[in-house]
Structure 1
Amino acid sequence: MLRYFLSALALMLVLEGLFPFIAPAVWRETFQRLTRLADGQVRFIGLTSIVVGLVLFVLFY
């Protein structure tokens, strides 16, 4: 079980690092816009990300 968790974590880190590596200026501007959002909006984005991830996990696992 720990092996799968670490594999998923490693894949997440690779995917998270692609965008700043490929387009750092665009990534920086997007991140700055995100910091200007209200807490409720950031929470909604986080919740949406969690739900999409769980749905994909259930569909493909």
Structure 2
Amino acid sequence: MDERWLQVLGLVLIIEALLPFISPRSYRQAVQQIANTPDKALRAIALVILVVGAVLVMLSHH
């Protein structure tokens, strides 16, 4: 596995763990709100995040 992929994975894990580490109560409330969000809205939000992420990756290669 390329060293960059390990760095990227490590950063993702760090970012994902920040909120539950800093504020478990807020994290729990956010997860409950997400659980109550309709599937269609979650898919739309996920699509936007995927597109933004893909654009950022593409821009980082130039």
Normalized against structure 1, the TM-score is what? Answer: 0.86
Q: Deviations over 1:23-48 (max 9, x none)?
A: 11111101100001111111111111
Name the counterpart of 2:60: 60
Identity of counterpart residues, as a percentage? 38
Normalized against structure 2, the TM-score is what? Answer: 0.84
Name the counterpart of 1:18: 18
Alignment of 1:1-61 (within 5 A): 2-61=2-61
- Gapped runs of 5+ residues in structure 1? none
- Gapped runs of 5+ residues in structure 2? none
CA RMSD of superposed structures (Å): 1.3
